[in-house]
Structure 1
Amino acid sequence: MYALVFKVLSYLPCLLLISSISGCNEHSSKQSLDLGIAQATQILDENKENIIYPKSSAVIDVTGAEYGAVPNDGKDDTRAIQKALSRFPNRGKIIYLPNGVYNISDTLHWPRGRRFASDYKRTILQGQSRNGVVIRLNNDSPKFQNPRKSRPVISTGFDPDLNRSSRDFKASLVAQRFGNSVRNLTINIGKNNPGAQGLNFVANNQGAVRSVTIISEDRKGKTGLELSHGEIGPLLVEDVEIIGFDRGIRTKNGINSITMQNITVKEQNRVGLYNGGQVLSLEGFTSVNSVPAIINGRNPHRGKDPGGTLTLINAKLIGRTRRAKRTSAISSTGFIYARNIISSGYRDILSSNARQAKKRIKGNKIDEYTTRPVLAKFPSPKKSLQLPIKKFPKIAWDDPDKWVNVEDFGAVGNDGKDDTVAFQAAIDSGATTVIVPRKGTFTINGNLRLRGNLRRFIGSTGGLNGKGEIVADNGNHSTLIVEDFFITHKSKLKWKNITNRTVVYRSMSDFDLESKGTGDVFIDDVVMGKLRLLNPKQSVWARQLNIEGYSQTNIINNGAKLWILGLKTEGGKTKIDTRSGGFTELLGGLIYAAGRQKPTDPIFRIRNSSASFAGVAEAFFDKDTYKIWVEETRGNRTKKLMRQRIPGRTTANGQALVLYTGYGG
């Protein structure tokens, strides 16, 4: 009981801030606080957020003596947190904040390091809990007063004090910001900081904003979540709420794609979400606003856009006040695929001013809508496949005293010797959580089984290499989570799944997976070379799936059910081959056609199976791209959807496929 009370009390700083935002009187404040405590208890029970690492994990605690941040004391923690961030450029470190309020007066930014080598990458800012950790900008902070020169409270991709014409700043625009993440915390920009951005986030290939709240106490501020610096993405934004600001979220640039799920924006001054040209895949979106919920395109009133491609699934758009009744919930001049959208309080639900797609949809519901005609080569329904959508699993974090570390069983990083026996001993010890610390690269040359009592196999961005295999096997728990691993590029290490339980692969780079199991599989913010689904009884959900590879077909779905939210590809060869009666639904993606593509290789292949592809855009810069987008076979007949049939986007020389359906009615 005392432990629960302590945890609830750790949420009080954030609850008090929320109370101050609401402007409560004494009576309502007490009611709000009582309700807040009850909600905090519920959050602890439902979301199970109490993330504490053991000391042996090599996680960097900003409250440690070496850094000296002290939460809840009202003093400035900027220098202490920045010291922890700056010490480890490109080191894959987790910078950890225990619960409490951390007051800051200037931008916290990722370490610069060496240009093109270690700058602004592989750094994770991790809170103990979303509601318990608050990074709060001091009121009236001098550097955050000019909205025309807005400045981030947290910046993962650049130092805002760099000269914009310097070589260092120009280097920060290149798509090399691998593995950055911000997780489980609240960012509060305080009061009277009109030039503040809450979080300016940059990641490439793999990286995520997870379980984050971004608040402006007086609703001022430029942007809550800024996604616009240079060649941004692919990246994931998941379970994020933004309150206040002129714009809740802003994206920019035509590459390299952004995936979002479970997003809430409230009480913005200009727009909830502004998509300025990105390939954006969004499922689960709520907006409560007097302004447009979504603007898709730089200037929807003039019909000009660089090729913004929005895939929007399951959205609730609530208009408040008379101002909302004079505008559309969604204004667009780009490409849109929309499904299951409801609205209230707006003049109409969608207004499109795009070329060849001028349309206004009145009423308060969209079942399914495309800005361009649905394409098909065989008779098919004019709607997407609509496979079931499952929530990505989360499980409670164990008490750190109950974790085991592979080093305690004899594993040694960077010695080049096989660590399989040590890893297996740790897994078979009976512990439910096994950690691989960020202390070099460990070698797996044998057959490693994830079995028994194991339910979380966590890398803390630890490195793996070798020529063995890591097999997800049956065990005592219904769900196994494998997360935060960095596998050496071009490693021969194989990952396999043969289990009947649910397996989640999360926040991982450079791994291949062969799955023969019957349990559900979730693939979450990963870089892969190839994915092989070999069991027709299996269902797979993937989001922010970055597939890179040139030598062979990247994804083969041999009879399974595969749902993807947000795909980014790079290189040649076919990207998804669905065969043997399989089902594949793709909701949003960017085809980055780098390198040479054979004229006979389609992007997507369907062989006597069912598939639909929505919101897929293309980018290429070397005058060599795919000629065939879809090759579909039914019976002994094969037909091809050629590139010239697909509408062009003005960004990155590419095309945009709004919806292709390839399945029987």
Structure 2
Amino acid sequence: MKRPVALFLLLFLTGICAQAATYTATATHLTMHAGDPLPPLIFKLSSYSGPYAALFKGQPKLSTSATSSSPPGNYPIKIAAGSMTTVNRADSLTFVDGTLAIIPADGIGARLTNNIVYPPGFTSAAAFPIIDVTHNPIANLVGDGVTDNTAGLQKLFAFGRGAAQSKVTTSVSGNTYTVTQVGESVFTGLAPGSPIRIAGVIYTIAAVLDPQHLTLTTNPGTLSNVAARLPPNVVSTSGTTVTATSGPTFAALKPNASLQIGSAFYKVASVTDATHLELTTTPPSLKNVDMYYGAAAGGQLGALPMFLYFPPGVYLASDTIIPYGNYWSIYGAGAQTSVIKLAPNSAAFNTGTAPVQFFSPLSVNKNDNFHIFIQNIGFESGVGNPNAEIFTTQVNNIGAIRNVQVWSDDSNCVNALNIRRAYPGPGMMRNVAVYGCQNGIYSNQQEYNFTFEDITLEGQTVAGIGSTNMKFSIRHLLSDNNVPALQAELFHANTTIMDSELFGDNSTGIGLQNGKENGPQGCHLYTRNVKVVGYATSEADYCVTPSKTYKGDLAETWSGEAQTVFDQTAPPASLHLPESETPQPNDPDPRTWTMLGTSPATWAAIISGSKSPTVYAPPGQYGGNGAYAITVPDTVNHLQFFNAMPTPGRTYTINLTIAGSSKTPLIIEGCPNNACVITHTGSRTLVLIDDNTYNYSTAAGAGNLYIDDVILGSNNNPGNTVTFYPGQQIWARQLDEEPARADKITCNGCTLWILGYKTEHNGTDIVATNAQIEIFGFFYYKLSLAAPDSTTMQITDSNLFATGYENINIAGYGAPNWVIETRNGTTSHLVAPGVNSPQHLHVFYSYGGKKASTTPVRKFHNTIQNF
């Protein structure tokens, strides 16, 4: 009788095996331009439920015969099992090859650079020098792609920002370097071998002599009454009790103070003694983890600069990485050369359903995240991290992401570039490439705006760009997606896309989707010169009634009605002013660059005597007093300050005069924040990149100006307005102007082209006379009650095209006029819809100036017809 039962069980189990799952891994279709680095070869799995690691081991191997030097054409992407197997032996895998399309180089999309070499002395600034993450007293990372660097990354990004502080004096006696505490925290709890930052420089503790004295392993020189930042506490938790095993005393902590323990944040309920405190909530049981002070807004988070350098390598991490506050920069050796990678199957990113940020800057007061820069580095998510938001940015007013690649190996993450934190922007992304994830770029914020140029988005599963309410100005976008390149949704979304290529393989899909079908009205999309291939509908605009759809290439489209004061009988259109690309440095071998000294007082002599056309200051903090006058000679072509910072309070100005006539543009990059006064009087073309200038002034006859992530004038003195003169041509990308007591920009006879313009405070945002101006995406933000007849733009006998958005978050703050225009002595108004709530200016056009010096719309790119 047992045999029939056994036979039944065998047949039953055989039936289960017969229903085993088959999964398909497909190589993602990719597009690149000839001469570019190969993109990362990623794949997409067919639907499955549960964690990746519960179903699969390893990952497939992908390869292609194409190289950076391959001519245009289609090249196979081969995908094979590699190390990938199924956990359940009954399950099976199939693999589907993909295609890499190489198209002729045409200046569209990200142009990434690898193998970047920095000049000698790059890490030698006198205060807050850049830290090589592989060799330093804090945490030496291993860029082997195997070692988990989570703890080390957390220490590097937090050190000096989340710890106690002492006031100290140093003395030197032979080979003994003594530090004496003269105020604030004592040295109780510190240990030999720990780092300590004194006057901005990191040293290693040799010995702790008593609560007020310690010695160092290296000579700090003789210092008096300077700040010393102590290492973090190492703590363990039990219930709400926190016990310190090392690090500074808890004496400086007060109830309600904010702490970071591990990767989470808590509040202090009470301090029991020097090594014990109670929290308001219960953390998990933790043992010997780092604890940082001041994890709340302001205070220690935003007070000090930080610079980190990642040499070539892959830096693995399995938990959230949190850069602290503002005034920080990270540099790598190239977008594909230095990589911060989320380890495959990291627990925090594959359980539950909520998105989890991987690289997650900690906000300062939500919108005080100034002077943040990420350059020449990659961010990768390994397989099995479906909840990951790989890279979150939180910059305000001045900040940029440049030469960065972000990708998900299995395409399965929530957002690659996450802009969901309040309140992002203004900020700049340039030469940024994104591969995989549900959304390549996503934001659900209403304030402020972001500018993108030279962007690649490929292999997304929901949208290349997802935006509920954000303001995006985009140029040179290359999108290769089966889903929409843009999916904007709600009323406040305001998007500009120009000079771009959208490639798809979706015979029923939409390339650009503005709003939801039968959804809220009012959101805005402007396009110009956008090539669209492979979508049934190039653009669907559901934010207007009736909705509009477009097929084929998009020459020029906009939501809503175009408005004008005097030109109702003329066809509305942009001016097609000449577009000019921002000149890039043509630096010689970095070993030949001229290095500036530790004091700005010496810089004038060094610059005037430089034998190299490139002069640089190592990234760090520079102090001084008074005004330092520097006339830049025509023999110098590039001043690279690597986003240096002045000492707190900025007790000096650097007065740079550009009076020369060289035909080679002068590039000033990363000038010390809010310390540079620029006087531009010569005919030489000037290029400003990542500069927050205290003041920019010019004069008749001055040369052309290029702006790339710039505040032209942070000087709020009465009457301080930036003025341009006849004959001067200006091309601006991501321009922020916020003088509280002045008009923002006056254009007297100039030609001004802007991609992404943000202003704040009352005052007219553009004053133009006999000028030619195009503004592709503005964000005007008024912060006090509007004057009765105020306006955002005032023009006289000028040509003006503008599209953008005015943010009004308090009733009565909006300017009552969009435009006050005077033509041939007659003045009239374009009245705004109201002063009580936000509003879009879909398109404004005026042809009131002399005939515009225009160029035809650039021809569409006929580089590819189908895949």
The TM-score range, normalised by the shorter chain, is: 0.7 to 0.9
Q: 1:374: which partner in 2?
A: 562
Q: 1:140: which partner in 2?
A: 345
Match of 1:86 among 136, 148, 158: 158
- With over 3 angstroms needed to count, the CA separation of the structure-2 counterparts of 1:275 and 1:582, relative to structure 1, is same
Match of 2:792 among 583, 603, 619: 603
Deviations 1:576-605 (A, max 9, x none): 1111x2211101011110124322332111
Matched, 1:479 2:665: yes
Match of 1:122 among 318, 327, 331: 327
Deviations 1:380-401 (A, max 9, x none): 5400122122222222455444
Q: 3-state DSSP class of the match of 1:148?
A: coil
**Are 1:287 and 1:293, in contact at CA under 8 Å, matched by a contact in 2?**
yes
**What's the CA shift for 1:663?**
1.4
Q: 1:117: which partner in 2?
A: none
**Are 1:241 and 1:264, in contact at CA under 8 Å, matched by a contact in 2?**
yes
**Are 2:130 and 2:309, in contact at CA under 8 Å, matched by a contact in 1?**
yes
**Are 1:338 and 1:369, in contact at CA under 8 Å, matched by a contact in 2?**
yes
Matched, 1:240 2:240: no
1:453-602 counterparts in 2 under 5 A? 453-460=635-642, 461-463=644-646, 466=652, 469-474=655-660, 478-488=664-674, 494-516=677-699, 518-529=702-713, 532-579=722-769, 581-602=770-791
Q: 1:107: which partner in 2?
A: 320
Q: In 2, distance between residues paired with 1:183 and 1:346?
A: 34
TM-score by length of 1: 0.83
Q: 1:61: which partner in 2?
A: 132
**Are 1:279 and 1:617, in contact at CA under 8 Å, matched by a contact in 2?**
no
Unaligned runs of 5+ in 2: 1-35, 46-58, 73-101, 162-301, 516-522, 714-719, 852-867
Q: 2:65: which partner in 1?
A: 31
**Are 2:775 and 2:801, in contact at CA under 8 Å, matched by a contact in 1?**
yes
**What's the CA shift for 1:49?**
6.1
Matched, 1:258 2:447: no
Give me the identity figure in percent.
Answer: 23
Q: In 1, distance between residues paired with 2:432 and 2:766?
A: 30
Match of 2:814 among 625, 630, 634: 625
Q: 1:168: which partner in 2?
A: none
**What's the CA shift for 1:325?**
1.8
Match of 2:40 among 18, 27, 44: 18
Q: 3-state DSSP class of the match of 2:353?
A: helix
**What's the CA shift for 1:624?**
2.2
Unaligned runs of 5+ in 1: 1-13, 112-119, 159-171, 298-304, 413-418
**What's the CA shift for 1:537?**
2.4
Matched, 1:639 2:828: yes
**Are 2:476 and 2:499, in contact at CA under 8 Å, matched by a contact in 1?**
yes
Q: 3-state DSSP class of the match of 1:345?
A: strand
Q: 3-state DSSP class of the match of 1:442?
A: coil
- With over 3 angstroms needed to count, the CA separation of the structure-2 counterparts of 1:638 and 1:471, relative to structure 1, is same
**What's the CA shift for 1:631?**
1.1
Q: In 2, distance between residues paired with 1:560 and 1:34?
A: 41
Matched to 1:385, the amino acid is L
1:85-484 counterparts in 2 under 5 A? 85-89=157-161, 90=302, 91-111=304-324, 120-146=325-351, 148-158=353-363, 174-297=366-489, 305-320=490-505, 324-333=506-515, 334-356=523-545, 358-361=547-550, 363-379=551-567, 380-407=570-597, 411=599, 419=601, 422-437=603-618, 438-443=620-625, 445-460=627-642, 461-463=644-646, 466=652, 469-474=655-660, 478-484=664-670
Matched, 1:663 2:847: yes
Matched to 1:79, the amino acid is A
Deviations 1:127-154 (A, max 9, x none): 1212211222211111111472222221
Deviations 1:217-238 (A, max 9, x none): 1111111101111111111111
**What's the CA shift for 1:439?**
2.6
More helix by share: 1
**Are 1:208 and 1:235, in contact at CA under 8 Å, matched by a contact in 2?**
yes
- With over 3 angstroms needed to count, the CA separation of the structure-2 counterparts of 1:577 and 1:63, relative to structure 1, is same
Deviations 1:86-119 (A, max 9, x none): 12543232211112222222222112xxxxxxxx
- With over 3 angstroms needed to count, the CA separation of the structure-2 counterparts of 1:48 and 1:444, relative to structure 1, is farther
Q: In 2, distance between residues paired with 1:475 and 1:83?
A: 49
**What's the CA shift for 1:365?**
1.6
**What's the CA shift for 1:20?**
7.3
**Are 1:173 and 1:230, in contact at CA under 8 Å, matched by a contact in 2?**
no
**What's the CA shift for 1:535?**
3.6
**Are 2:44 and 2:410, in contact at CA under 8 Å, matched by a contact in 1?**
no
**What's the CA shift for 1:74?**
2.5
**Are 1:147 and 1:221, in contact at CA under 8 Å, matched by a contact in 2?**
no
Deviates more, 1:264-273 or 1:74-83: 74-83
Q: In 1, distance between residues paired with 2:124 and 2:413?
A: 40
* Root mean square deviation, CA, Å: 3.2
**What's the CA shift for 1:348?**
0.8
**What's the CA shift for 1:331?**
1.3
Q: 1:164: which partner in 2?
A: none
Q: In 1, distance between residues paired with 2:804 and 2:115?
A: 34
**What's the CA shift for 1:239?**
1.4
Q: In 2, distance between residues paired with 1:371 and 1:249?
A: 22
**Are 1:528 and 1:548, in contact at CA under 8 Å, matched by a contact in 2?**
no
- With over 3 angstroms needed to count, the CA separation of the structure-2 counterparts of 1:402 and 1:435, relative to structure 1, is same
**Are 2:340 and 2:379, in contact at CA under 8 Å, matched by a contact in 1?**
yes
Q: In 2, distance between residues paired with 1:46 and 1:274?
A: 23
**Are 2:615 and 2:639, in contact at CA under 8 Å, matched by a contact in 1?**
yes
